[in-house]
Amino acid sequence: MDFRRLGRTDIDVSAICLGTMTWGEQNTEKEGHTQMDLAVDRGVNFFDTAELYPIPPNRETQGRTERIIGSWFKARGNRDKIVLATKVVGRTQMNWFRENGELGALTRQQIEFAIDRSLKNLQTDYIDLYQIHWPDRNVTGFGSNPTRWAAPDPAPDENSIESTLEVLNDLVKAGKIRQIGLSNESAWGTMRYVTASERFGYPRVASIQNAYSLVNRTFEVNLAEVAHRENVGLLAYSALAQGYLTGKYRGGATPKGARRTLFDRLQRYEKPGAENAINAYLDLAHEHGLDPSQMAIAFALSRSFMTSVIIGATTLEQLTTNLDAENLALHPELIDRIDAIHQLHGNPSP
């Protein structure tokens, strides 16, 4: 397993990060434990979760994923071997994250409540990487990196980036978190965090977790330069376009137990033009005798701004296939073919 430095910290993380958002919904606690065992045996030292998980979010299941990881730590006694990342929700109309029914926002009170509950759920006294799941400010669209701009009205009670950093700074001083990161953030937001940390001596963001895949390379437009020059590396989620780049949904297929079959939440990868782009990449993989999942993950791993690619699975077979992608090096000629498809189809799934 390849290891890469997390931002400007002294922490090295595996190039493959184990995603966990299916545990507690599509996967049982036992299955989650088995996935963690396999990932660690294969050299993974990096787990990513969130207070929101599992997906899809709802009142009854919220927090289950963290509790599954916590019970694994207790059973295995190996917390010190894992770089653990979790997240606090940003501004949201969902009202079940806080005990008083308050709508989610990045206030001091909510962040402090969230970290304490995550620590309890995870059965640990510190988080290695604490991430802002999405911004507190209103943005054009989820992911904060749109291909089309729409001017959102600012929330009247918007919490500033500086105020968020101040709270995170206090949590670092208290020993509850080691490093901080962003998620679903824009180039503007990322640079505001970087400059504010430098100005006020607050913790510096070490990473940004955004969507990145063959059908969504919007990160390259502005954020890639920020990641490269500021050492705020990408933790890529949805490198398989929520399963579409595996080929399992091709031709409208609805496999038993798959997310598209169970939940109506994959619209990001069902936009006009997406099917043609996805099929082009699937055909390219088959032409070269490659597993399409592994080709997609290997491409993400080859990017100079990539710190780690987050992979998730509901079966051990899927997880093994995804882990094996770390050993696949794509020839320059194949990357040129991928770029040619991208030139024709762009980013149909931002």
Q: DSSP for 35-69, please give it.
A: HHHHHHHTT--EEE--TTPSSSP-TTTTTHHHHHH
Residue 141's pLDDT is 85
- CA angle at 277 for the pair 274 and 278, rounded to the nearest 5°: 85
Residue 143's pLDDT is 85
Can you give the residue ranges of every domain in the chain?
3-242+303-326
Beta-carbon contacts of residue 188 (< 8 Å; ≥ 6 apart): none
> What are the angstrom distances between the C-alpha of 56 and each of 21, 52, 62, 238, 263?
9, 9, 9, 15, 8
Beta-carbon contacts of residue 49 (< 8 Å; ≥ 6 apart): 20, 21, 65, 66, 69, 84, 85, 86, 87, 122
DSSP 3-state assignment of 220?
helix
Based on C-alpha coordinates, what's the Rg of the chain?
19
Beta-carbon contacts of residue 94 (< 8 Å; ≥ 6 apart): 57, 103, 104
Residue 272 burial (10 A CB sphere; 0-12, 13-18, 19+):
exposed
Catalytic annotation on 237? no
Residue 76's pLDDT is 98
Residue 338's pLDDT is 98
Q: Are 135 and 105 in contact (CB under 8 A)?
A: no
Residue 34 is inside which H or E element, if any? helix 29-41
Q: What is the DSSP letter of 23?
A: B
pTM of the entire predicted model = 0.96
User: Among all chains, which residue has been given the structure tokens 């607050």?
Assistant: 202
Rounded to whole angstroms, the Cα distance separating 288 from 281 reads 11
Q: Which of 108, 146, 119 is nearest to 51 (CA)?
A: 119
- Which parts of the chain register pLDDT below 70? none
Residue 105's pLDDT is 97
Residue 207's pLDDT is 98
Q: Are 111 and 207 in contact (CB under 8 A)?
A: no
Rounded to whole angstroms, the Cα distance separating 294 from 325 reads 5
Residues in the chain: 350
3-242+303-326: CATH topology: TIM Barrel (3.20.20)
Residue 283's pLDDT is 98
Residue 296's pLDDT is 98
For the stretch 88-110, pLDDT in tens is 999 999 999 998 999 999 999 99
Residue 44's pLDDT is 98
Residue 88 is inside which H or E element, if any? strand 83-88
Residue 158's pLDDT is 96
Question: For 206-234, b where at least 16 C-beta lie within 10 A, e where not — what string?
Answer: bbbbbbbbbbbbbbbeebbebbeebbbbb
Residue 252's pLDDT is 87
